[in-house]
């Protein structure tokens, strides 16, 4: 007891600056628990100055690529030609370059207890945007198990909200914005963006014109969630373009990146039917379109990357991959029953695919020419029509809600 009292007295004699130097060298989980030690520690650790010091001491506030995860979400269409889906979190697994193998530091069980059924809409760093069965928008952080109050009602999910996303600030990680957008008129000549800012707790509205050289009538929303690349939100929309939006620096305008020339208007249905993939791969936008892919032999994977304002086509021969004992998977090459489901955002050599004949969800390494099973989806019922991958990036200090 005497030794404990002595240690406690020595800690209390430390100045705030000395105590900060000690605390920033501990894991954030331990540091957050120390907020319960005393009012002084609570005040010190919750101070933005301490959080800033902690972030910059630990990897200079950047994402730890060794702890990156991917969240596999499967879903079935409730109304075949509507926008309603029933989704569930199928699997949380480490990315190919992550050092996390057996121990997964996050879980979504707390959401099932607090919310019940929910749909995952968008992700930015360690924050997830969801909606519940009453179509209320909420923000959660699975690492801290924090859940926001319902965001002030500004929209209705049934009103064709074409652009949905959440984006954390690059300058101040404690600030995030939720974006809801839809076409504001019948002719699709402008997009209305409603933006919720966490720092103000309020919504603001911006109306952005659509360039006249775009076919506004044939805009068709894909089932792809928003993709964040270089601090901006990206949505696949119609067969013509990717919509790029920055709610922090340029909320009154957005950019449009035209798709490659190989895409055509008949591919609208492809975007709607889960055969199109838009991904951020190591800071580069990458797209895959099954309609164009079918023009090549089934074993040839074709995708495009956007660099220096131009699309570059790349092809990979899937039949060269060593599948080992996965005979049921290798038959997919002959039966046209393997679907590409996404790319690893942290490793451009990894592509994820669903082997429909065996039900296996695979990670295929295009460099090492190997493949391994992530999960077995053969028992999923009803058979999932929609399948999306959401990245999770563990920050040195978690984003507050």
| Average pLDDT estimate for 223-251 | 86
Is 11's pLDDT higher than 60? yes
pLDDT value at residue 396? 83
User: How buried is 252 (Cβ within 10 angstroms: 0-12 exposed, 13-18 middle, 19+ buried)?
Assistant: exposed
Q: Supply the mean pLDDT for the chain.
A: 78
pLDDT value at residue 80? 40
More confident residue, 60 or 358: 358
Is 268's pLDDT higher than 90? no
> What is the percentage of the chain residues whose pLDDT exceeds 70?
74
Task: Read off the pLDDT of residues 173-222 as tens digits, 9 standing for 90 and up.
Answer: 789 999 998 877 656 678 889 999 999 999 999 999 887 766 554 445 55
- d(CA 87, CA 78) in angstroms, rounded, equals 10
Tokens of 312: 């570059």
| 163 contacts 243 by C-beta, under 8 angstroms | yes
Task: Tell me the whole-structure pTM to 2 decimals.
Answer: 0.84
Task: Write down all domains in the chain, each with its CATH number in brackets.
Answer: 2-57 (no CATH), 65-392 (2.120.10)
More confident residue, 152 or 178: 178
Task: Read off the pLDDT of residues 101-124 as tens digits, 9 standing for 90 and up.
Answer: 667 888 888 988 888 888 888 999
């Amino acid at each position: 007891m005497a030794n404990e009292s002595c240690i406690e007295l020595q800690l209390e004699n430390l100045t705030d600056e000395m105590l900060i130097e000690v605390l920033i060298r501990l894991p954030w989980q331990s540091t957050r628990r120390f907020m319960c030690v005393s009012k002084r520690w609570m005040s010190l650790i919750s101070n933005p100055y301490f959080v800033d010091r902690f972030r910059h001491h630990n990897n200079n506030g950047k994402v730890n690529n060794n702890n990156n995860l991917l969240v596999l979400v499967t879903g079935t269409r409730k109304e075949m030609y509507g926008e309603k889906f029933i989704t569930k979190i199928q699997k949380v697994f480490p990315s190919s370059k992550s050092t996390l193998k057996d121990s997964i530091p996050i879980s979504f069980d707390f959401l099932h207890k607090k919310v019940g059924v929910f749909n995952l809409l968008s992700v930015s760093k360690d924050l997830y945007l969801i909606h519940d069965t009453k179509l209320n928008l909420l923000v959660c952080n699975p690492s801290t198990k924090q859940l926001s109050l319902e965001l002030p009602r500004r929209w209705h999910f049934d009103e064709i909200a074409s652009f949905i996303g959440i984006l954390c600030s690059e300058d101040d990680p404690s600030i995030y914005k939720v974006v809801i957008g839809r076409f504001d008129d019948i002719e699709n000549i402008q997009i209305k963006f409603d933006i919720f800012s966490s720092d103000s707790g309020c919504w603001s509205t911006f109306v952005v014109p659509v360039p006249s050289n775009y076919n506004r009538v044939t805009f068709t929303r894909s089932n792809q969630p928003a993709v964040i690349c270089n601090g901006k939100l990206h949505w696949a929309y119609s067969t013509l373009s990717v919509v790029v939006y920055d709610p922090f620096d340029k909320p009154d305008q957005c950019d449009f990146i035209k798709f490659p020339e190989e895409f055509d208007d008949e591919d609208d249905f492809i975007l709607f039917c889960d055969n199109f993939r838009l991904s951020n791969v190591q800071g580069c936008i990458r797209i895959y379109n099954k309609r164009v892919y079918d023009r090549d032999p089934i074993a040839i994977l074709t995708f495009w990357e956007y660099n220096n304002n131009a699309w570059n086509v790349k092809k990979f021969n899937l039949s060269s991959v060593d599948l080992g004992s996965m005979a049921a998977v290798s038959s997919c090459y002959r039966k046209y029953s393997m679907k590409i489901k996404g790319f690893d955002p942290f490793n451009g050599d990894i592509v994820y695919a669903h082997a429909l004949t065996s039900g296996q969800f695979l990670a295929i390494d295009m460099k090492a020419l190997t493949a391994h099973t992530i999960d077995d989806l053969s028992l999923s019922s009803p058979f999932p029509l929609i399948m999306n991958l959401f990245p999770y990036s563990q920050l040195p200090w978690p984003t507050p809600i």
